[in-house]
Structure 1
């Protein structure tokens, strides 16, 4: 493994951080590419001084025998998967959007349909190299400095700059065979999903709730051969295909990024973009998470004319409270499709305060709400969803709009452990704190 280029880049970033620390003022980490924080008009973080970490884009080593990969955090999963597939291997968890980076997956809690087995991408990580707020190079693992290792996950770039990640790989095949099992009621759908998670006879499990009487359980398994393959990169829409199909075959990369063309179903907010004629004409230029996110940023001024942006949010609800959450969601929130992903927490995460989820289940359910209009002047749907998740002992990802008071926030997140990690890695506050970063100025 030739680390000379990597070490030079680490030295450059560390020097930049030390200089910026002397200047004071707010900073942000510029990873290059697109940010997966939900756009908020007038976000003041855009005006903070940038720490340029955009050159951390190399796969440093793949060890097929040990099934381990070492890579820099700016490598995207779309770049990584073809490299590891050459060895018949993939990361245990591959997030569904092509431009999600390895570092973003660690810092921002990425999951996918293999998460019922493996948890989040970070649960397969073995070691992190981090550049601290003092410009020091810190290496941590579960054995070496476990506090820092545990707290990097879900820190959203507030503790330091990730510069190298070592993580596990699992065996894979060229294709994925999909089975779609259809249900017209929640109870049968929920029971079938729980049973498949218990038995573990599929590599991939997720679900799409198209409406209160239309549930699809999506079950995937690696296969060596495929009688046909479907393509959802241009003219056809993946999530719509699950309504009519009972079986499908995709190449392994196309399976991993099956939601990317639409950014799940956000493309439907553009009139006509789910129709074949429009997709044929302009799809190459506007489809895909990279394009859609960039267009959303270009339309920041238009978004600013709204009272508030649409609801785009993932919430994790303990399995035992999933039925209660769904009953409330169908009755009061009423937005479809709803993406449902079972998620196994291999062990209690130290960044969650024990008193918040003291009865937590090992299996959680990620309920992903993507694009609910939020223009009711009397009710902020984002805040309502946040409150219901808290009531049910759940946890919300922080890439969306956040409404917590500081006291409520630290009822969920473990302040003592976070501040201990902050003192170790960023004692002078070069990077914003977790609460400060994730609670931006916004219109109410």
Structure 2
């Protein structure tokens, strides 16, 4: 855990301001940040970036008010290490350890508590934003800047400090993996859980699922509990996602439950051979982390390794299909049926969510149940792979069904469609007030033009 004093925080903000002043006029202003959980490439920039060193810690945890003051670059791993000793956790803890609090708010984080608590930005009580104008603005829910910040991905500024709500959690998590043979039955169960917060008379604290095939879908129903017991460990030889099919119940520590997906990057570590028993024994435990796999993937993209091997072997080129989309719960079966026929990638992650308020730049309908469908991998498509035909088809289908697509990965919209889907004119108006010289790259250029 990285603990920071308020004096250290002020010093870090001063360094941030100085680094902003050092960026030449006309050059885009970006973070000087080594790690990222984004999956979209961007053009190389030679100008110096913003110095965010010292803005990656926890300032304070108040168990009485159940709040925490954190810096924008603080990872959820460090935040959870600070809150769990008090029996508290953020209302939503995204799946990967190195996602930052500021990143989850300016992007969109989600996890198994989202069916109760919405998205991470909905638990933010106050936020300090370093804007494109080079000033720190303190903003709260209902303010124009605050409400436009989610899904802005740094186009309006960067959070330097956030005050967030926490909630009590138990030291252990009891899991029940319930199988369904069709999406409609799963959707009906999700609807009932959202309404009652129970399943078979037992309280539900966390809810997500996995679809392994059209007739093999699971909901993983989590309940915080105080009573100890024999817990599973999925940071060693065992692999969490496989356990969903192998056992009906499980028990994890709250810490291991929060990071159950991180060790194997959901199931994507298999692409690096790490799920093979021999490789797993030899692969150092400290490398069994999502950011390590992300770096390996970055090297592949940089040097075009897989595509070169496919060409040499005469295999069709593969399209990278790495997306998270939200579809209304009552259209989940429609989307999965289409996805199986047109894309054919399994497994996929299913995470129900209900937004509690309207956010203009990602217009989910408050109170309406959605399901986040996450799919990450490659699909053989042939010479047209570079044109991203599957990704484009997914974009079209999601919006036909009244859904939305997260922008952490590649996007292919034309400008008019993008502005219609993500409140482009409103975002531009807010940006004009807080970044009048357009020092920060706008959202369309970031998400689609890869600038």
TM value normalised by structure 1: 0.92
Note the 1:109-188 alignment, pairs <5 A: 109-142=108-141, 146-188=143-185
- 1:277-328 per-residue CA deviation (whole Å, 9 max, x = no partner) reads 2101115264210110111222333437636652111001122322221221
Note the 1:354-369 alignment, pairs <5 A: 362-369=368-375
Residue 226 of structure 1: CA displacement?
3.1
Q: Which residue of 1 aligns with 2:233?
A: 231
Residue 416 of structure 1: CA displacement?
2.5
2: CA distance, partners of 1:310 / 1:269: 13
Q: Which residue of 1 aligns with 2:9?
A: 6
Secondary structure of the residue aligned to 1:346 is coil
**Worse overlay, 94-103 or 367-376:** 367-376
Q: Which residue of 2 aligns with 1:244?
A: 246
Query: How many residues align structurally?
Result: 431
Q: Which residue of 2 aligns with 1:335?
A: 345
Secondary structure of the residue aligned to 2:377 is strand
* Distance 1:438-1:308 versus aligned 2 partners, 3 A rule: farther
What is the aligned counterpart of 1:191 among 177, 188, 193? 188
Q: Which residue of 1 aligns with 2:43?
A: 44
- The reply on whether 1:297 has 2:298 as its aligned counterpart is yes
Residue 267 of structure 1: CA displacement?
0.9
- The reply on whether 1:425 has 2:434 as its aligned counterpart is yes
2: CA distance, partners of 1:27 / 1:374: 37
Residue 47 of structure 1: CA displacement?
4.7
What is the aligned counterpart of 2:359 among 323, 327, 349? 349
Residue 2 of structure 1: CA displacement?
4.5
Does the CA contact (< 8 Å) of 1:197 and 1:205 recur in 2?
A: no
1: CA distance, partners of 2:215 / 2:46: 46
Secondary structure of the residue aligned to 1:52 is coil
Residue 45 of structure 1: CA displacement?
4.2
Does the CA contact (< 8 Å) of 2:131 and 2:434 recur in 1?
A: yes
Q: Which residue of 2 aligns with 1:376?
A: 382
Q: Which residue of 1 aligns with 2:22?
A: 19
Does the CA contact (< 8 Å) of 2:361 and 2:427 recur in 1?
A: yes
**Worse overlay, 212-221 or 52-61:** 52-61
Note the 1:389-408 alignment, pairs <5 A: 389-408=398-417
Residue 346 of structure 1: CA displacement?
0.5
What is the aligned counterpart of 2:219 among 217, 220, 235? 217
2: CA distance, partners of 1:231 / 1:191: 31
1: CA distance, partners of 2:264 / 2:242: 11
- 1:23-67 per-residue CA deviation (whole Å, 9 max, x = no partner) reads 3212321344x2011154xx3145554212132112111111111
- 1:57-93 per-residue CA deviation (whole Å, 9 max, x = no partner) reads 1211111111110010111111111211111110000
Q: Which residue of 2 aligns with 1:275?
A: 276
* Distance 1:411-1:361 versus aligned 2 partners, 3 A rule: farther
Does the CA contact (< 8 Å) of 2:354 and 2:366 recur in 1?
A: no
2: CA distance, partners of 1:28 / 1:45: 11
**Worse overlay, 284-293 or 98-107:** 284-293
Secondary structure of the residue aligned to 2:49 is strand
Structure 1: 5+ residue runs without aligned partners? none
2: CA distance, partners of 1:47 / 1:243: 48
Does the CA contact (< 8 Å) of 1:44 and 1:440 recur in 2?
A: no
**Worse overlay, 171-180 or 273-282:** 273-282
Q: Which residue of 1 aligns with 2:102?
A: 103
2: CA distance, partners of 1:48 / 1:156: 19
* Distance 1:374-1:103 versus aligned 2 partners, 3 A rule: farther
2: CA distance, partners of 1:426 / 1:49: 19
Secondary structure of the residue aligned to 2:256 is helix
Secondary structure of the residue aligned to 2:179 is strand
Residue 105 of structure 1: CA displacement?
0.8
**Worse overlay, 363-372 or 277-286:** 277-286
Name the Cα RMSD after superposition: 2.0
Does the CA contact (< 8 Å) of 1:347 and 1:362 recur in 2?
A: no
Q: Which residue of 1 aligns with 2:333?
A: 323
1: CA distance, partners of 2:341 / 2:366: 25
2: CA distance, partners of 1:96 / 1:11: 32
Does the CA contact (< 8 Å) of 1:39 and 1:297 recur in 2?
A: no
- The reply on whether 1:314 has 2:324 as its aligned counterpart is yes
Secondary structure of the residue aligned to 2:173 is strand
Structure 2: 5+ residue runs without aligned partners? 199-203, 308-316
Residue 331 of structure 1: CA displacement?
2.4
Secondary structure of the residue aligned to 2:184 is helix
- 1:314-357 per-residue CA deviation (whole Å, 9 max, x = no partner) reads 0011223222212212222221111000110112212246xxx7
Does the CA contact (< 8 Å) of 2:88 and 2:167 recur in 1?
A: yes
